[in-house]
Amino acid sequence: MTSTLPSSVTGAELGDSLRAIDETSPLVQHLTNEVTMNDVANLTLHWNALPVMADSPGDAGEMAAGAAAILFNTGQVPEGKVEAMHDAAETAAEHDIPIVLDPVGVGSTPTRGEVAESLLEAVDFSVVKGNYGEISALAGVDAEVRGVESVGEYDEIETAAQSLAESTGATVVASGVEDVVATADGAIRLSAGHEMLAAVVGTGCMLGATVAVFRGALEDPTTAAIHATLAFGIAGEQAAEREYAGPASYRTNFHDTVAGLVADGVADLALEGRIERLE
């Protein structure tokens, strides 16, 4: 179930979501790639949630029973991990646990596409989050993905995102220079973030983890997706306000900023103009 897309978000509303995370400390299970696993685990902890990286057959399904939300990240797709995803999905369905899909690199190889399609056929995802190329590829639109990076122009990304939302029943987040959040009923553009986020490997994976954290604490998937994407972008902006020498020190700033982004601190933020409803 998705909610009506808002035309604005207030600092107080975003603060309420951060407070919900603080109060519930959701356990978020990650079946993710090894390249960014440490950053994903740390960022989950910095949002005041609890990370667990149970991703092997058997253990994944057992751990899922106690999770508040689960993240599937297809950045690496060894057979055992894919099997573990299906195990975890079966448990999640039994216990009504939401799953977020981050289809990393879909569109770059047939294997990744086949894995993503098998998951979409078997799992009712709560949120699907990917870059413009990945979301377009899943929606059946021409896309250019090199490795795990989206390249090219995506003038109709909101249409692709809404189409994917209609076909999957999930809320869809398409991340890019401006982020798009779509449901079957419409789409919004969200302006938040900083160019330095693109200079750090793994920020896309960390956004997926952030969406899972918010989804684990909030009942409504669309509110979770919007507030997670907005909070992530604001943290990226605030990290750039601290002194940094390059990507490595900016990455540290970003983690520190997320750890310090508390409910009372965002309540007075002026967020007017951050969201544009797309008709």
Q: Annotated binding site for ATP, which residues?
A: 129, 175
Contact status, residue 128 vs residue 103, Cβ threshold 8 Å = yes
As a dihedral over the C-alpha atoms of residue 164, residue 168, residue 170, residue 174, rounded to 10 degrees, the angle is -20
Question: Cα separation of 144 and 154, whole Å?
Answer: 10
Question: Cα separation of 118 and 113, whole Å?
Answer: 9
Annotated binding site for substrate: 53, 202
Residues 6+ apart with CB under 8 A from 138: 103, 106, 116, 120, 128, 130, 164
Structure tokens at 270: 């002026």
Question: Cα separation of 203 and 240, whole Å?
Answer: 14
